[in-house]
Structure 1
Amino acid sequence: MYSISNSDLSIRNQSMDCSRVQMEALETAGKMLEKHMVLDSNYASLYDKMRIRFNKNCPTVSGLSEHDYPQGAAFTNIKQLVPINKVPIPPEIIENFSLIQSHSLMGLFPEINRAWLAVDNQIYIWDYEHRTDISYFDGLNNTIIGVGLVKPKPNIFKSNVKYLLVLSTISEVVILGMMVPEQNTVSISSGPINEGQEEIQLVKRVLYSILTDGVTMSTIKGSSTGRIFLGGTDGNLYEIEYQRDATWFSKACRKVNLTQSSLSYILPTFVNALITREDSIVQIAIDNSRHVLYTRSEVGTITVYNLCEGGQGFRCVVSISEEMIVKQAVKIQKTLENTYFKTIVSISAIEARECLLLGLVVTCESGTRLYFNPGFTLKNQRPTYLNLVHVRLPPGFTGAVPLARPDKVNLVHYSRGNLVMNTAPLGIQESIWLLSSDSYPFQPSFMESQTCLIMDSKPWVLEEVGGAAFSSTSLCTKEEPPLVVRQHYERLAKYVALGPHGVEIYSKLRPVDLLAQLLKDGNGPNSQSVKQYFHAQSEDQACASCLILACNSSTQNLTISEWATRAFFLYGGEPKPAPSSLQDTSPFSPNMISTPQPGSTFMTSQQPQTDAIFSAKHNGLYLYVSRILRPVWTRRVVKEVAMGELDTAVTLAEISIVCSHLHAVSCFIENHSNILPPSNNVNVTVMKDVTVMNDKTLYETKLQEVYLMERRSLEALKMFIGHA
Structure 2
Amino acid sequence: MYRIPDQIFDQYNRAQVSTSMGLFAELNHAWVTIDNALYLWDYTHPNPQLIGFEEQPNSINMVKLARPRKGVFLPAVTHMLVISTTADVFLMGLACENAGGYKSVTIYQTGMSVPIRGLDINVIASSDSTGRIFFAGSSDNDVYELTYQQEERWFQGRCSKVNHTTKSFTAFAPQFNLRNKPTEFVEQMVVDDSRNLLYTLSSNSSIRVFHLRPDGSVNLTITKTAIDIYSNIGHIITSNETLNPRVKIVSISPIPAPEASRYHLMATTATGYRIYLSATGSYSWSATPNANNAPTSMQAQHVKTPPSDSPSDQVPQAAPVPGAPFHTTGPSKVSIHSLNPTSSAERFPPGYFFCFTQKDNSKQADTLFISTPDSGKLAIPRDPSTPIKPEETGIWLTLGSRAEAIGLYTPYDQGGPTSSGFGNELAVQFDKPAAEIAVLTNTGVHIIRRRRLVDMFASLIRNSDGEDGLEDRVQTFIRIYGRSETIATALAVACGQGMEVSPDSRLSKINDPDVLEFARKVFIEKGGKPTINENAVTDGSVPAIDTVLPSPRHAGIALYTSRLLRSIWKTVIAQQGRTPAGGLSITPAVPTSTLLTIQRDLSALKDFFNTNRTFIEGLSGPDALSKVATKQEEVALQAEHRGLHSLVQLISHTIEGISFILVLFDDRVEDVIALLNEDARNRFLELTFEQLFATSKGHETAKELVKAIVNRNIAKGSNVETVAEALRRRCGTFCSPQDVIVFKGQELLKRATEAGPNSEVGRNLLNESLMLFQQVSESLPMDYLKPSVEQYIQNQFFAGMLSLAFYRDFSILTTT
Whether these two folds match at TM > 0.5 is: yes
Q: Which residue of 2 aligns with 1:217?
A: 121
Assess if the C-alpha contact under 8 Å between 2:491 and 2:519 holds in 1.
Answer: no
Cα distance in 1 between the residues matched to 2:577 and 2:128 = 22
Structure 1 residue 460 and structure 2 residue 376: aligned? no
Within the candidate set 285, 289, 303, 1:380 is matched to 289
Q: Which residue of 2 aligns with 1:117?
A: 32
**Structure 2 vs 1, CA of residues 678 and 454 (structure 1 numbering), >3 Å: closer, same or farther?**
same
Q: Which residue of 2 aligns with 1:394?
A: 306
Task: Write out per-residue CA displacement over residues 104-163 of structure 1, whole angstroms, 9 at most, x where no aligned residue.
Answer: 111111121211111111111112233513211111221101110001112222222111
Structure 1 residue 327 and structure 2 residue 231: aligned? yes
Q: Which residue of 1 aligns with 2:478?
A: 534
Aligned residue identity for 1:530? V
**Structure 2 vs 1, CA of residues 391 and 658 (structure 1 numbering), >3 Å: closer, same or farther?**
farther
**Structure 2 vs 1, CA of residues 104 and 523 (structure 1 numbering), >3 Å: closer, same or farther?**
same
Look at both structures and tell me which one has the larger radius of gyration over its CA atoms: 2
**Structure 2 vs 1, CA of residues 720 and 505 (structure 1 numbering), >3 Å: closer, same or farther?**
closer
* Segment of structure 1 superposing worse, 419-428 or 347-356: 419-428
Task: Write out per-residue CA displacement over residues 330-360 of structure 1, whole angstroms, 9 at most, x where no aligned residue.
Answer: 4532252464561111100011232121110
- Tell me the TM-score normalized by structure 1: 0.74
**Structure 2 vs 1, CA of residues 656 and 273 (structure 1 numbering), >3 Å: closer, same or farther?**
farther
Q: How does 1:88-487 map to 2 (within 5 A)?
A: 88-130=3-45, 132-181=48-97, 197-203=102-108, 205-225=109-129, 226-233=131-138, 234-248=140-154, 250-262=156-168, 264=170, 268-270=172-174, 278-308=183-213, 313-334=217-238, 336-337=240-241, 339=243, 342-375=247-280, 377=286, 380-382=289-291, 383-396=295-308, 405-415=338-348, 416-426=350-360, 430-438=366-374, 440-442=377-379, 444-468=388-412, 472=414, 474-476=416-418, 479-487=421-429
**Structure 2 vs 1, CA of residues 113 and 698 (structure 1 numbering), >3 Å: closer, same or farther?**
closer
* Segment of structure 1 superposing worse, 286-295 or 172-181: 286-295
**Structure 2 vs 1, CA of residues 232 and 597 (structure 1 numbering), >3 Å: closer, same or farther?**
farther
Unaligned runs of 5+ in 1: 1-84, 185-193, 584-594, 600-604, 688-695
**Structure 2 vs 1, CA of residues 706 and 515 (structure 1 numbering), >3 Å: closer, same or farther?**
closer
Q: How many residues align?
A: 595
Cα distance in 1 between the residues matched to 2:410 and 2:371 = 18
| Structure with more helix by fraction | 2
Assess if the C-alpha contact under 8 Å between 1:437 and 1:449 holds in 2.
Answer: yes
Assess if the C-alpha contact under 8 Å between 1:574 and 1:614 holds in 2.
Answer: no
Q: How does 1:34-53 map to 2 (within 5 A)?
A: none
User: Equivalent residue of 2:401, what SS?
Assistant: coil
Structure 1 residue 509 and structure 2 residue 509: aligned? no
Percent identity over the alignment is 23
Cα distance in 2 between the residues matched to 1:403 and 1:281 = 28
User: Equivalent residue of 2:258, what SS?
Assistant: coil
**Structure 2 vs 1, CA of residues 272 and 406 (structure 1 numbering), >3 Å: closer, same or farther?**
closer
Assess if the C-alpha contact under 8 Å between 1:172 and 1:210 holds in 2.
Answer: yes
Aligned residue identity for 2:50? I
Task: Write out per-residue CA displacement over residues 194-240 of structure 1, whole angstroms, 9 at most, x where no aligned residue.
Answer: 98x2221222x244122124322111122112111112332111111
Cα distance in 1 between the residues matched to 2:656 and 2:467 = 30
Task: Write out per-residue CA displacement over residues 238-289 of structure 1, whole angstroms, 9 at most, x where no aligned residue.
Answer: 1111122223453222111122235525xx5215888998422121112222
Cα distance in 2 between the residues matched to 1:107 and 1:702 = 61
Assess if the C-alpha contact under 8 Å between 1:525 and 1:566 holds in 2.
Answer: no
* Segment of structure 1 superposing worse, 563-572 or 660-669: 563-572
Cα distance in 2 between the residues matched to 1:378 and 1:561 = 52
Q: Which residue of 1 aligns with 2:695?
A: none
User: Equivalent residue of 2:79, what SS?
Assistant: strand
Q: How does 1:702-721 map to 2 (within 5 A)?
A: 702-721=636-655
**Structure 2 vs 1, CA of residues 639 and 379 (structure 1 numbering), >3 Å: closer, same or farther?**
farther
Q: CA deviation at 1:640?
A: 10
RMSD: 3.7
User: Equivalent residue of 1:486, what SS?
Assistant: coil
Q: CA deviation at 1:720?
A: 3.8
Task: Write out per-residue CA displacement over residues 576-615 of structure 1, whole angstroms, 9 at most, x where no aligned residue.
Answer: 44244216xxxxxxxxxxx99665xxxxx9x846433323
Structure 1 residue 623 and structure 2 residue 535: aligned? no
**Structure 2 vs 1, CA of residues 536 and 564 (structure 1 numbering), >3 Å: closer, same or farther?**
farther
Aligned residue identity for 2:223? S
Within the candidate set 600, 613, 617, 1:663 is matched to 600
Q: CA deviation at 1:177?
A: 1.2
Q: CA deviation at 1:536?
A: 2.2
- The one of the two structures with greater contact order (alpha-carbon pairs below 8 A, sep at least 6) is 1
Aligned residue identity for 2:341? K
Q: Which residue of 1 aligns with 2:438?
A: 496
Cα distance in 1 between the residues matched to 2:188 and 2:443 = 25
**Structure 2 vs 1, CA of residues 312 and 495 (structure 1 numbering), >3 Å: closer, same or farther?**
same
Assess if the C-alpha contact under 8 Å between 2:278 and 2:298 holds in 1.
Answer: yes
User: Equivalent residue of 2:267, what SS?
Assistant: strand
Assess if the C-alpha contact under 8 Å between 2:554 and 2:643 holds in 1.
Answer: no
Assess if the C-alpha contact under 8 Å between 2:252 and 2:268 holds in 1.
Answer: yes
Unaligned runs of 5+ in 2: 310-329, 381-387, 500-506, 658-688, 690-816
Assess if the C-alpha contact under 8 Å between 1:241 and 1:256 holds in 2.
Answer: yes
Q: CA deviation at 1:562?
A: 7.0
Assess if the C-alpha contact under 8 Å between 2:68 and 2:78 holds in 1.
Answer: yes
Assess if the C-alpha contact under 8 Å between 1:89 and 1:501 holds in 2.
Answer: yes
Q: CA deviation at 1:683?
A: 4.8
**Structure 2 vs 1, CA of residues 244 and 217 (structure 1 numbering), >3 Å: closer, same or farther?**
same
Cα distance in 2 between the residues matched to 1:169 and 1:200 = 22
**Structure 2 vs 1, CA of residues 304 and 380 (structure 1 numbering), >3 Å: closer, same or farther?**
same
Aligned residue identity for 1:405? S
Q: CA deviation at 1:461?
A: 2.0
Q: CA deviation at 1:320?
A: 1.0
Aligned residue identity for 2:441? G
Cα distance in 1 between the residues matched to 2:655 and 2:436 = 33
Q: Which residue of 2 aligns with 1:4?
A: none
User: Equivalent residue of 1:474, what SS?
Assistant: coil
Cα distance in 2 between the residues matched to 1:639 and 1:256 = 45
**Structure 2 vs 1, CA of residues 478 and 155 (structure 1 numbering), >3 Å: closer, same or farther?**
farther
Cα distance in 1 between the residues matched to 2:156 and 2:435 = 43
Within the candidate set 534, 537, 558, 1:581 is matched to 534
**Structure 2 vs 1, CA of residues 716 and 490 (structure 1 numbering), >3 Å: closer, same or farther?**
closer
Aligned residue identity for 1:496? A
Task: Write out per-residue CA displacement over residues 637-674 of structure 1, whole angstroms, 9 at most, x where no aligned residue.
Answer: 789999x9999998543x64255224311332135313
Cα distance in 1 between the residues matched to 2:199 and 2:353 = 18
**Structure 2 vs 1, CA of residues 698 and 279 (structure 1 numbering), >3 Å: closer, same or farther?**
closer
